[in-house]
Amino acid sequence: MVERYVMSIDQGTTSTRCILFDHRGRLVSVAQREHQQFFPKPGWVEHDALEIWRNLRRIVPEALSGAGDGVAAEAVSALGIANQRETTVLWDRRTGTPLSRAIVWQDTRTAPLVEDLRSDPGDAFFLERCGLAPSTYFSAPRIRWLFDHTPGLTQRAANGDILFGTMESWLIWNLTGGTAGGRHITDVTNASRTMLMNMATLAWDEELLGFFGIPHAILPEIRSSAEWYGEDRSVLPGRPITAALGDQQAALFGQTCFSPGEAKCTYGTGSFLLLNTGTDVVRSSNGLLTTVAYKLDEQPAVYALEGPIAVTGALVQWFRDRLELISSAPGIETLARTVEDNGGCYIVPAFSGLFAPHWRSDARGVIVGLTSYITKGHLARAALESTGWQTKEVVDAMNADSSLTLRELKVDGGMTSDNLLMQILADVLDVPVVRPMAAETVSLGAAYAAGLAAGYWADLEVLRGNWHRAAQWLPDMDPTRRASEYENWQRAVERSLGWIRPSNGP
C-alpha cells in the first residue's frame, strides 16, 4: 500500500515553507524559501506577491523530492494553507498582476485614518459588527488607502476588474487556475481579520463595506476553514485544496486546542495568545480581539479571544543587534541566569506602541528602576520577564472577558527553546506551561484541517492522540512576590504611555 501524506503551505512574514506530514502528524519533509522585505518609507512594510507565488511553485517539488526516496504528487491526499494574516493584495483579474506590492500586516501607513476611525464613529461601532477595534493591523484601512492613492482604481474595481485577497486568497486563486478560472475564496479566520466580516453572520457586512467605500465585487467568497476549495492546476495537478487558516488560528488547531478554555501562545518576534471560547462570540471589553478560531465544513464556527503582543522576541533581537549585549538569541538566557532577579529593573518594549490589552500607539519603550546596582544580567532578566508580564496582562483580560479560566498554556514558537523564559511564564501566570513535541504547529494545523476535510484523519480525537508533550514547567513563585512585581510592571507600563504627542504642524 502506498504511503499517503498531507501537504501544508505556511506562507509567513519572512518565508514560505512547504511541509509533508504523515498520519501520525510527523514531519516527513520540508522546503523553504525566504522572500524580500521592502521598507520604502518609515513605517511601510511591503512584499512582492509574485515573488511569493514563484517561491511556492519552487518549494512544492523540493518538498516532494526531499522525502526519503521521493514522494509522487499522487501520494498527497490534500493541501492546506496557513498564512500571514491581514497582509493585503489587490490584483488585476484579467492579467493576474498585482496593482502594487502587498501591504504587510506590520505596515503602519494607515495610522492617520485609524485615528480618525477611533474618534468617529468610534471603537464600539466596529467592535459590535466585526469584533475588532480600528488598528493599522487590519486589512480594510489598507484597502481604503490603496483606493485613495491609486488613480483609476475606484472605476476599475466598479467594473469588476480588481480582486482583493490576503495571502491565502492570492495563492488559492493562482493554484486553481489564476486568470483561467482561478477560485477567488477566503476562509472565515482570514475574513475575520479584515474589519469587513460580520462576526455573527460570517458574511461580508454591507454597512462596513459602505463605510469604507469598498465594492463587494472585489471580495473573495467566504468559506469554512476545512472543505473542498478546488483542485490544484499548477504544482500538484488534480490534488485537492481543502483548508486555509490564518497562521495563529492554525497554531491553535495544531496545538489541538479544540475545547473551550484551551489556549496557546506563539512566541516569536511578537506573540499571539488565543483562547478557544467555543461557539460563543465573546465580545471583549478589556482590550482583546474577537476572532474566528476555525470552522470545519458545515459545523458551527468556533470562536476565540486573541491578545496580540507587539514585541517579545524582537526585544531579544534588539539586545543582540543594537545593544550588542549578546552574540546570539540563546545568549539572553545565559546572561539572565547570572542573576537571581531583575534587581528592581523593568523593561516595557513599546518600540512602536503597545498592542493588547492597551492598544496605545502613543507608547514608547522605557527601562525603569535603574540604579548603579543594575548589571547587563539584570537587564537580560528584565527583558525575559517583560514577555511574561505582557502575557499575564492578556491572560487577565481573557479571564475578565470570559467565564473560562485558563488552566494551562500550550506554547510554541522560537522563544520556547528558552527554558528560563518558560519557567518565568509559569511563575507569573500561576498555571502549567506546556511545550509540544511537534515544533511546526502552524503548518501542522493547516495540515490537520486539510486532512480532516479530505478524510485522511477521521475526527478531532485522532488529532488529539497525535499531540505529545515535550516539556512542562510548573509555577514556583510566592503569590505575594508575584503580586508585588506585577504592580511594579503596571507602574512601568504607565510611564511608557503618552510619549508620542500629536504633531501641531508639518
For residue 21, what are the β-bridge partners?
6, 27
291 labelled ligand-binding:
no
Q: Kindly provide the b/e burial profile for residues 308-332, where b requires at least 16 CB atoms within 10 angstroms of the residue's own CB.
A: bbbbbbbbbebbbeeeebbeebeeb
- ∠333-11-130 over CA atoms, to 5°? 95
The reply, when asked if residue 5 is annotated as ligand binding, is no
Tell whether 109 is in a known binding site. Answer: no
Task: Please indicate if the annotation marks 247 as binding a ligand.
Answer: yes
The candidate with the shortest Cα–Cα distance to 88, out of 140, 153, 41, 160, is 140
Q: Is 14 annotated as a binding residue?
A: yes
Which 3 state secondary structure label does DSSP give 464?
helix
Say if residue 405 carries a ligand binding annotation: no
Q: Is 269 annotated as a binding residue?
A: yes
Cell of 269: 518576534
What count of Cα atoms within 13 Å lies in the side-chain half-sphere of residue 165? 28
Strands 263-267 and 409-412, by their bridges, are parallel
CA distances from 49 to 35, 59, 100 (A): 9, 16, 9
Q: Partners of 64 in the beta sheet? A: none
Residue pair 305/288 in contact (Cβ under 8 Å)? The answer is yes
| 90/217 Cα distance (integer angstroms) | 12
| 88 labelled ligand-binding | no
Residue 108 assigned to a binding site: no
> 17 among the known binding-site residues?
yes
What is the three-class DSSP state of 135?
coil
Query: What single DSSP character describes residue 193?
Result: T
* Residue 450, burial from CB neighbour count under 10 angstroms (0-12, 13-18, 19+): buried
3-state SS class at 250: helix
Q: Which residues contact 236 (CB under 8 A, 6 or more apart)?
A: 7, 60, 73, 76, 79
Can you read off the three cell numbers belonging to residue 246?
490564518
* Binding residue positions: 13-15, 17, 85-86, 137, 247-248, 269, 313, 317, 414
* Binding residue positions for glycerol: 85-86, 137, 247-248
* Binding residue positions for ADP: 13, 17, 269, 313, 414
* Binding residue positions for sn-glycerol 3-phosphate: 13, 85-86, 137, 247
* Binding residue positions for ATP: 13-15, 269, 313, 317, 414
